[in-house]
Structure 1
Amino acid sequence: MALKNSVSFRSLFVKYILYFIFGTFMLFLFVFFGLDFILKANIVFPANYFEKKVEQNRYEITRAKKVTEVLVPEGCQYGVYSRRGRILYGNFKVREFQKVWRDFENNKVTSGRNRYYKFFYRSNEICIVRYPLRAQFTNLFLRKYFPDIENLLYILAFLIFITYVLLLSAKFGRYVSGEMNVLMKVTEKIKHHNLDFNPKHSRIYEIDRVINSLDDMKRALRDSLERQWNMESARKNQISSLAHDIKTPLTIIKGNAELMKESCSDYNVAEYNQHILKSAGEIERYLELLINMIKSEVSIAFNPVKINVKTFFEKLETQGKVISERKNIQFVGSKEKNVPEFFHGDEELLYRAIVNVISNAVEYSQEGGKINFKLGRKNSSISFSVEDSGRGFSKEELQLAGEQFYRGDSSRNSKNHYGMGLFIAKSFVRLHRGCIKLSNSKITGGALVILEIPFDEF
């Protein structure tokens, strides 16, 4: 449900356009009344100030024996010529005297931008005064460094205008960004599978509609996941119950077979009975594995503690040597010097994960082979690598190994390998935000499995 005071993007845009128009209008008033104020406050001379001053001194300029700078207002320049154009005196720059006389001969009353001439005919001379026709500061210092006050006001107004536009844009951007963050928070929570929350509403109508759609999707997804979880939980309970039910008649079959073995002396019957016992034992192992797998999926308690790296490694090394002895495999452990002294993790789960990988390495290695077990560090992760001397991984196994119940071709003949070792190890390592990398060793030619566990994430 949308907020009552939410606005559409169109209304929001019109609102800020009105802000822009209002700000521009106020800036125009500032320039107009600002110029009027500084004129009335005698901070600035009006544009025709010097023209009036020159005109007021016309009589003195035409009648004086010699034109001096006292008769010419400050800020104006003058030059006195003979009737034939010979330069007599004045304060024009040397290179300007001839140009001013040419302008006089051509009857030009202007000299460049905002500069004008007045001509005064004396007895045998001509005085030419050049004056500015623009507003100027009354203060000499300001007039020197800011001779064109109108352009100064335009530049100042332009800078204020640009600043206003930037501030208005930033305000608009922050407003929209803040409303978009509300939407982003909703998507982030859904992304991280947090489906039990009430989203905040946006003050922008279109964004609020998207949030409402995401909220509907979140509820539908949550309901779907709950149904799926309930179905999956029911399925696992059924499989677990069935596995336990199968164990009861299997125990009876196995018990009767053992009694027959003890009471029957016939060789053929004893041989058949041995097959029954062996197959029954395999079925028991299948059922036990199935039950453990279901338990591990339903609930895995994750209890991270501070683990001593040296002690943990020695424990794994000892277990690896025990597992390798049954196939007379050489188990070699090594530890790099730059590994941290401690790291945090669930010791029991990590122990089970690494032992599973070691067991797989023993299973695939031939008798008399070799397994290298190495503890190292890679950036901010601690790594455990297991390198065997078996046949290595095929391309298919590199892609699918670690999937539940997956077994490579060579493992299909093994009675003790059910494709669960790497799957369980992968599940436990993921709980530690780590990863498992599979490859083939360039040294032994066998499989290389590396388990990486971040030690600075907890």
Structure 2
Amino acid sequence: MKSLIQRSFHRTFLLSVLATLLTWAVGLSALLVWGNSLRPANYYESRIPQIVSQIRQLDHPVSPASRVEVERIVPAEGMGYEMFDASGKRMYGSYTGEGAICSTADLLERLNDPAASGGYFVQYEPLTGPGGEFAGAIALRYKLTMASANPAEAVPLLLGGLLMAAAPFAYLYGFTLWSGRRLSRRLEEPFGHLIEGAEKIREHDLDFSLERGGTGVRELNQLLSAFEQMREALRESLRREWQSERDRRDMIAAVAHDLGTPLSVIRGHAEVLLDDAGRRPERAVRYAETILGAADRSIRLTADLSEAAQVERPDFALSPEPVDLETAVRAKGREYAFLCRERGVDFALAVRDLRAEDRRGPQRLDQHRLNRVLDNLVSNALRYAPEGSLVALELRIRPGGAEFEVRDDGPGFAEAGGGRIFEKFYREDAARPAAADPGGGHSGLGLFIARTVVRRHGGEIAAQNRPEGGACVTFSVAELD
């Protein structure tokens, strides 16, 4: 801004000087061309000897009777006169002087000595009588200016002189106005954008941008950039708030739906048991098993909700400890093999340690959370794996971390890349129908929890469909500090 104002001032001053010099050059050129037809400023002063000579030729120039002749000789348009007798008494004239002459001595003292008074020059010339005696004097008043020497052209000369004198100030004022308006237009647009943006923000409209090119003013560019960053931050904050609000609504709806079904089952079967009053024990056992399964589903849902809320908290932290991954995963593999046999599904485990022999050893990881991730992925694979198919778990241990892969021969994901399956409460029932899920459905939180834990481990998780059929989920973890 400082640089812009300085440039504006320098431009105004330079243009004013150049315009003034040009005006003076044009005026002086016109005066030189026109000057050949103009009288010089001392025109009337130069005529004084001729005028005095003609007046002296009159018989009695001091006498009022000679006034008409004197006024015919003295040019009234450029000179004034006063006639005095020998005693200094004013006899007549075309003007009245400010300094009164009281005696012959006063009059003689002023002879041949031009004096300045009120912008005029006054010259006293002696007059003689018929016998050559001193008869008096005539005072001739004139100006040494071009306008007074050229009364017919006085107005143009005065206007020209005024223009020449006022040109610097007029140009300075004019160019200052022009520079001010130019600067105002340059600043008006970005400030207009800021005001418009503030109005939109007040109306909760954040879908606009202030990135419309630079203004040429560093401070304004910084202000616009800061305002744009504030708008982006505000929009992102509101987006997160709206997303959080939507997630809360979805969570409430999902919890109400998922808890509603098992609770309805529990209530209905409990009512049947009460009505049966123990008359059919085999039926009571079947209904009790159904109630137990519905209660287990409710417990699993509340546990998932609790864990999801826990891993989402900003202060959530992992608990790293030395973990022998191969040993831990083989132990989990025995659990998964047992679950798969109960469902009529085969299970395969492959472990490869890609580290050098002298580099193999425990890694600092949160084993409890990693087990939770593996439980979610394997249970999902088992949930949709057809009877007689295969669920496979592969572990690749690398320096500083590890990679896991879980595969199944089920129907795969509805989305080609499995992009949304890691969202909270998302279910892919279109591709994996509930009928294929003997476990009675799931909460839609397991993969969300898995992604959160994996990212806290410094890794990433991805899901995709296998070309030969089925689903594949891979994730990586990095050793914790």
Q: Radius of gyration: which is bigger?
A: 2
Q: Could you tell me the TM-score, scaled by structure 2's length?
A: 0.43
TM-score by length of 1: 0.45
